[in-house]
Amino acid sequence: MSAELTKARSHISRIHSHLKQQKTLPAAQALYEALRIILTSQLMKSERSEFSDLIEQAIYQLTQDPNFKQAYPLKLEYEPGKEKQLYRQMGEVMKELQASTTEEAQGLLAMMEQRKKEGVEKVQANLDAGKHDEAKKLADDLVRDFKDDTDLKADIADRFLQAGLYQEAFDYLDEALRNDPEAVHLYNRIGIVLRKMKDFDTAERYYRKALECCKHDEYLYFNIGRLYYDWQKWHEMADMAKRALKLNPEFTQAKKMLQFAHKKLGN
C-alpha cells in the first residue's frame, strides 16, 4: 500500500478521536481528505474492499454523533464504488459545518490551537537545548490542560522519540491510547518505541494488536520485520518481509530485508 493510501487510512482512523473530542469539523475534514486520496489513487481489489468498509464505518460514526447531526441533518449517501458522489456531498457538509461554526467558537478554537502550538514549540526548544526535565514538565502541563487531545499526545511522543527519550515517548503514547483505544496508528508507533527500548516481547504484543485492525499495510509488516531484525529472529523477519512484498512487490526495503533474512538462515 502506498504512503498516500496509508495517509488516507490514518485520516479515517482519527475520525473517532476527533468526534470524541467534539471536533466535528476536523472529523468531517478527515473523511473528506481520505476520499480525495482514494479517488486519485490506483487501488487493488483488496484495497477497494478495505476502504469501502472503512468509509462505511466512518459514515456511521459521523451520523451517530449529535453535533454532526445538528449541523448536517441530511442523510449521507454512500455505496461502494460511488466514492465520487460521497466526496461531492462531503464538500457540502464542509460548507455547512463551517457556516454553523460561530465567530465566538472560531475565536476560542483559534486561541486554544495557538496555545497548543506555542506550548509544543517550547517543549521542542527545550528538547533541542538538552533541557529534558524542563521539556517533560512543559509537556506534562500541556497534556494535562488538553487531556482529551490524542493527536497532541502523539505529537509530543514523536518529539521525545526523536530526542532519544524512549520511556517518555512510550508514556505519552500509552496515555494517548487510553484516550482512544481505536487509534490503530498509535499501536505501530508504540511498537517502534518499544523496539528501540529493546522490550521486544511487549513491542510484539502491540504490533499484533495493530495487525488485528490493519492487515493491508506493508509498512506495518516491515516495521515488525525491523523488530525481528533487532531480536535476531530471522524466520519471523523473513515472514514479515514476504507479507510486505505480497502487498507491494516493488517495496525495495522489504526486498532487502528478505535477502538479509535468507542470508542469515543460510538460504
- Return the percentage of the chain with pLDDT > 90, whole number: 59
Query: How confident is the model at residue 179, as a pLDDT?
Result: 83
- pLDDT of 119 above 70: yes
- pLDDT of 153 above 60: yes
Average pLDDT for residues 74-97, to the nearest whole number?
89
Coil, helix or strand at residue 109: helix
Please state, in angstroms and as integers, the Cα–Cα distance from residue 50 to each residue in 86, 200, 213, 214, 243, following that order. 17, 30, 11, 9, 17
Please state, in angstroms and as integers, the Cα–Cα distance from residue 19 to each residue in 34, 64, 121, 127, 145, following that order. 16, 10, 26, 31, 19
What is the rounded end-to-end Cα distance, in angstroms, of the chain? 28
Average pLDDT for residues 68-84, to the nearest whole number?
87
Query: How confident is the model at residue 102, as a pLDDT?
Result: 62
Cα within 13 Å of Cα(69), Cβ side: 6
Cell 490503530 sits at which residue? 184
Q: How far apart are CA 10 and CA 13, in angstroms?
A: 5
Q: How far apart are CA 192 and CA 204, in angstroms?
A: 10
Which cell numbers hold the place of 139?
Answer: 509537556
pTM of the model: 0.58
pLDDT tens profile 22-48? 889 899 999 999 999 999 988 888 888
Q: How would residue 103 be classed by pLDDT, with cut points 50, 70 and 90?
A: low
pLDDT tens profile 137-151? 999 999 999 988 988
**Contact status, residue 31 vs residue 55, Cβ threshold 8 Å:** yes
Q: How far apart are CA 93 and CA 253, in angstroms?
A: 40
pLDDT tens profile 211-264? 887 788 899 999 999 999 999 999 999 999 999 999 999 999 999 999 999 999
